[in-house]
Amino acid sequence: MRSLRLALAQTNSKVGDLEGNFKMIQSRIEEAISQQCDMVVFPELTLTGYPPEDLLLRPEFIDDNLKYLERLAPHSKEITAVVGFVDRRDDIFNAAAVLHKGEVAGIYHKQFLPNYSVFDENRYFQEGKSAPVFNFNGIHIGINICEDIWYPGGPTHRQSLYGNAEIIINLSASPYAMNKIQERSEMLAVRARDNAVIVAFCNLVGGQDDLIFDGSSLILSEEGQVIARAPSFEESMLIADLRPGNVFGQRLHDPRRRKEKLFHMETGDVEQIELPVVSRVKKKDLEKPMMTPPCENLQEVYEALKLGVRDYVHKNGFKKVLIGLSGGIDSALTCAVAADALGGDNVIGVSMPSEFTSQLSEDDASDLAKNFGVTFHEIAIKSLHSEFLTSLAPLFEGYDAGLTEENLQARIRGVLLMALSNKFGALVLTTGNKSEYSTGYCTLYGDMVGALAVIKDVPKLLVYELCEYRNEVEGKPMIPVSTITKAPTAELRPDQKDTDSLPPYEILDPIMRAYVEDDLSFDEIVGLGYSPDIVQKVIRLTDINEYKRRQSAPGIKVTPRAFGKDRRFPITNGYRHRK
């Protein structure tokens, strides 16, 4: 019986680290050989890391990536390896190399280049044209890359229909967003069923700046059933014995394929590539393939945030982080994620109480740090604030005290955090959430100071849910209950509450989602049942605060549309939504 022992190497590449990525690929090839695999597959652009962005405009980077591919080829003498890299012809291509018997036996060029959301591949790559099918010991295998499989009439369809591909291998770097894992799995099941083909989807895992790649690699039968699933948010080797004998029988039951072949005889770009026969060593069948259950919704988001913090800190050569702990829920969640990602001993929490900071907030910050094993310091800022006000008094004479004096406190805290960062070599993590960044309820050069905005893409209501989730996982209140239950406040003036400046988050968050993520108009949002005055206020605040967001630290993307490269609006913008 024809069979293929396939390994999907769900790996965590680092952009630009060609030597490190080469060693990682080499190690995984050796691991697959030890498991008697016939073929091992790596994610999209594994060799360069994804996305390499403007590194692709440097010819020496392209040349170096090709040299490393040449160095990888000899490692395929005992196994076939499919590796993502950048190919160069008259232009450059997002490509997959088939390494077989120590040589580059074939190359596939990505055909559908995404140019939406966080993607910008048309800026760099030329589209591929050919859709080869590789004959490996009598098994026909089509190879394509990421976006190619999202199109019903794309390479998957042509490779299976005209090239008789029985297995489709898709190398991917598909970034995470809430509900994306389920959506992707459903799409892959449709492709498998519609084309009566086994689908093996190998996805990148890891954090790269503001993007998270969740892994969640899959193998699906020709009937669209998941037969193997890798875990999410961690490296893994997914191995399965595939027997494509049922594919032909499945196709006999679908007369539509015959009709399409009859009336569209031109196979066009489908090329057959014969791989030299590999002698087979008889091996025992594997036990049941890995079938990791999907994460629950809140677990999924929390794990994405953890991975994003860990990779951002470690890949940039740091070990420790600094967080300003206010006693509020946003800094509490940021601290919890950082401690879980890096270990509490690598997190430094700094409480910076002012004259307006309540004793409850100070106690909550201290208890939080103790619960997570975080190093804790307190630096009172009352005297510093007074000195600033004294120095500015001659210039402020005749003006009422207000927002300027409030924001001075946030800016003093930012200066202190950056001083500690410079002295101790620890990255500052900012603590603002998506609701605040949307409305500008944050202080530029104050609480926005830092290297990574961990929860920048987490709406306030989801912040509450994630804190409660973290406590449920622990079975006790690691995040103090009072931190979750007390009214949110910046504590920059007496008795201040967030609702003094903003609508309640139960109203703000759905409006923000409708405007920022769904691009609904004023009238459409009002039509959902919200007050016209409140809708107008939220839209106005969102529009006028683009200049703040443009100067903010990168934030980990978890929603379908995040601020930054995902949502690009001009700072100087004369267009306003009509009432």
Catalytic center residues: 44, 110, 146
The alpha-helical segments, DSSP class H, found in 425-501 are 434-439, 460-474, 481-485
Torsion of CA 492, 563, 46, 93, to 10 degrees: -150
The answer to whether 52 and 65 have CB atoms below 8 angstroms apart is no
Please report how many Cα atoms fall inside a 13 Å half-sphere around the Cα of residue 294, on the Cβ side: 15
Q: How far apart are CA 52 and CA 79, in angstroms?
A: 28
Sheet holding 133-136, edge to edge: 226-229, 218-220, 198-203, 167-172, 139-145, 133-136, 272-274
Is the C-alpha dihedral spanning 154, 242, 107, 273 positive or negative? negative
State how far the Cα of 476 lies from the Cα of 195, in Å rounded to an integer: 50
- Give the tokens for residue 237: 């080797």
Q: Which helix (H) or strand (E) is 59 found in, with range?
A: helix 59-72
**Does residue 344 contact residue 374 with C-beta atoms inside 8 Å?**
yes
The whole-angstrom separation of Cα 555 and Cα 549 is: 10
Nearest to residue 541, comparing CAs of 503, 492, 496? 503
- HEC-encoded secondary structure of 172-217: ECCECCCCHHHHHHHHHHHHHHHHCCEEEEEECEEEECCEEEEECC
For residue 542, what are the CA distances in angstroms to 244, 388, 413, 526? 53, 30, 25, 16
State the virtual CA torsion across 222, 226, 232, 235 in degrees, nearest 10: -60
Q: Which residues, other chains included, contact 507 with Cβ-Cβ below 8 Å and sequence gap of 6+? A: 530, 534
What is the Cα–Cα distance from 36 to 32, expressed in whole angstroms? 6
